[in-house]
Structure 1
Amino acid sequence: MSFYTSLSGLKAAQTDLSVTANNIANVGSMGFKRSRAEFGDIKPPSSTTAGIGTRLKSITQQFTQGNFEASSRELDLAINGAGFFVTRNQATSGDTYLTRSGSLAITSDRYLVDSNRDYVQVLPVDASGNLTATDLASATSLQLPAASATGSALSSIDIGKTGLVTATFADGTTEPLGAVMVANVTNPEGLAQQGNARWSITGEAGTVTSATPGTSGIGTVESGVLERANVDITEELVGLITAQRNFQANAKAIETANAITQTVTNMRT
């Protein structure tokens, strides 16, 4: 029995090593959220059994905020506080994603997209720039106008702390185009990881809510900065050493059990 008990410990330590290694590998990935492996003991078959090992309970992501990195691009955004940007893979699957990575760009046909080429979702606003809807169904992909209603060419766009996208035209006039949607979910750990610092919404994530950034628990939108991975490299290295020691200890336990078994076998012969 001790062989299998220690074997479960070896597998647990190996999983812990893999999770820690993945965190370290993504220390430079913008918007990445570190993971943590959680283990639990296996229920023994009776009260006289010492224990039969450990098992992996879950691998959960930690959605704490990462540090900000200054950028010279106006289209580099970060959320200061809770929330996610909402994007849609409109070109292929049509799937909706949540992300903390705000490195945006403009396509040749003037759509606002993120670094995965997914379309950034914006909410409708009135002439004063106030939200007229906050639900996910009202969000749309933003296509920038080539010119104003009077024919003046688009000069630039600005994204404010509330996510409001404002177009400035060559004649100096401005027009609110919509507000970058920042959404919250009841249980972020219930989101399904899709890679490239994006997640899909599942039933376990709970309700998706949105509001004007800076209100109702939604963070503000910061322009000219990007959010780095929330990985503390020192903490991960300590975790790496701990997992390595756990692996070595379980391997030693197997070695000891094997030596005892060999001794007993020799005594019988």
Structure 2
Amino acid sequence: MSFFTSLSGLKNAEVDLRVIAHNIANSETVGFKKSSAQFADLVATGSSTDPRRSPGIGSIVAGITQDFVLGPLEQTGRSLDLAIDGDGFFSLANAFTGDVSYTRNGNFRLTAAGQLEDSWGNRLQAYPLDQNGNLVGGPPNAPVSVAVPITNPPLGGQGAATLANVTIDVRGIMIAAYSDGSTVNVGQLALATFPAPNGLRSIGQTKWQATGDSGGAVFGVPAAGTYGKMISGALERSNVDLAEEMVSLLTAQRNFQANAKAIDTATQISQTVLNLRS
């Protein structure tokens, strides 16, 4: 039995090492959130078992939790680099499938069609604004893909002004500036929060998807209620603390070695017993 008990410890130490290695590998990934492995003990017992004589049969991975604490905000000076100072996730939609994902990585670019996209072509979701600056279909409705008009007026024509740049203020309002000096408020970015963010499923590329454990997305706009403010010209860096991860790495390595030594000791004892019987 001691073999299997120590084997469970080896497996858990290996999982811990993988989680820590993943954190360290993404210490410079924009919008990355570190994870930590949680463990629980296993006890083989029954109604007729003396509770004072239950040595246990090892441990198991209880879960791998994500830490969504805010990472350091780094100034970049690029107007389409966005950081959320507070709670919330950017909402992204796949341009082909329409699948929605969520991220804290605010590195966006403007396409020739006026769409704001991430590096993988997912479109940033927002709420359109009418001529009076009022939200069209605002929260709690789901946001949509909002295109920035490339010319002003949008339909073009002779003498139409071309798009000069796009800026985003602390409330997430997208402001398009044109070559003739005119400006247009195009839309307001949407942010999503979740009842239980630790239940989000990580799908890579610093994106998450909603699950039954996380609950559905609750949409809002920046700087309203508990939703964070929008900071243009900045990105949120990974919240991984390398010094902390290195200490955890050494601890996980020591646990692995201790369990391996326990297996080696159990093997020697078993070999001694076999030699006595022979």
Matched residue SS, 2:139: coil
Match of 2:125 among 121, 126, 140: 121
Give the 5 Å matches for 1:134-213.
134-137=139-142, 139-149=143-153, 151-213=160-222
User: Which residue is equivalent to 2:236?
Assistant: 227
User: Which residue is equivalent to 1:62?
Assistant: 67
User: Which residue is equivalent to 1:77?
Assistant: 82
Whole-angstrom distance in 1 between the partners of 2:224 and 2:110: 28
Task: Indicate whether 1:94 and 2:80 are aligned.
Answer: no
User: Which residue is equivalent to 1:40?
Assistant: 40
Dislocated runs of 4+, deviation >3 Å: 126-132
Residue 171 of structure 1: CA displacement? 2.3
User: Which residue is equivalent to 1:241?
Assistant: 250
Whole-angstrom distance in 2 between the partners of 1:136 and 1:54: 45
Residue 136 of structure 1: CA displacement? 4.5
Residue 128 of structure 1: CA displacement? 4.7
Whole-angstrom distance in 2 between the partners of 1:127 and 1:160: 18
Whole-angstrom distance in 2 between the partners of 1:70 and 1:177: 25
Matched residue SS, 1:167: strand
RMSD: 1.5
Whole-angstrom distance in 1 between the partners of 2:131 and 2:67: 39
Q: CA contact under 8 A between 1:123 and 1:131: conserved in structure 2?
A: yes
User: Which residue is equivalent to 2:54?
Assistant: 49
Whole-angstrom distance in 2 between the partners of 1:176 and 1:127: 8
User: Which residue is equivalent to 1:27?
Assistant: 27
Whole-angstrom distance in 2 between the partners of 1:145 and 1:80: 28
Q: CA contact under 8 A between 2:127 and 2:146: conserved in structure 1?
A: no
Q: CA contact under 8 A between 1:82 and 1:218: conserved in structure 2?
A: yes
Task: Spell out, residue by residue over 1:68-117, the C-alpha distance to the aligned partner (whole angstroms, 9 max, x if none).
Answer: 11102110001001100001002x22100100000010112221101221
Residue 17 of structure 1: CA displacement? 0.4
Q: Which amino acid aligns with 1:185?
A: F
Whole-angstrom distance in 1 between the partners of 2:14 and 2:59: 12
Gapped regions of structure 2 (runs ≥ 5): none
Q: Which amino acid aligns with 1:2?
A: S
Task: Indicate whether 1:250 and 2:255 are aligned.
Answer: no
Give the TM-score, by structure 1 length: 0.95
Q: CA contact under 8 A between 1:129 and 1:164: conserved in structure 2?
A: no
Q: CA contact under 8 A between 2:189 and 2:222: conserved in structure 1?
A: no
Task: Spell out, residue by residue over 1:214-266, the C-alpha distance to the aligned partner (whole angstroms, 9 max, x if none).
Answer: 22210011011111111000000000000000001111111111111112222
Q: Quickly say closer, same or farther: Cα 1:240–1:99, change in 2 above 3 A.
A: same
Gapped regions of structure 1 (runs ≥ 5): none
Whole-angstrom distance in 1 between the partners of 2:139 and 2:129: 10
Q: Which amino acid aligns with 1:5?
A: T
Range moving further from structure 2, 113-122 or 240-249? 113-122
Q: CA contact under 8 A between 1:128 and 1:176: conserved in structure 2?
A: no
Whole-angstrom distance in 2 between the partners of 1:12 and 1:181: 40
User: Which residue is equivalent to 2:6?
Assistant: 6
Residue 130 of structure 1: CA displacement? 4.3
Q: CA contact under 8 A between 1:36 and 1:61: conserved in structure 2?
A: yes
Whole-angstrom distance in 2 between the partners of 1:103 and 1:124: 21
User: Which residue is equivalent to 1:259?
Assistant: 268
Whole-angstrom distance in 2 between the partners of 1:234 and 1:130: 47
Match of 1:104 among 108, 122, 127: 108
Range moving further from structure 2, 205-214 or 105-114? 205-214
Matched residue SS, 2:8: helix
Matched residue SS, 2:119: coil
Whole-angstrom distance in 2 between the partners of 1:2 and 1:263: 15
How many residues were matched structurally? 267
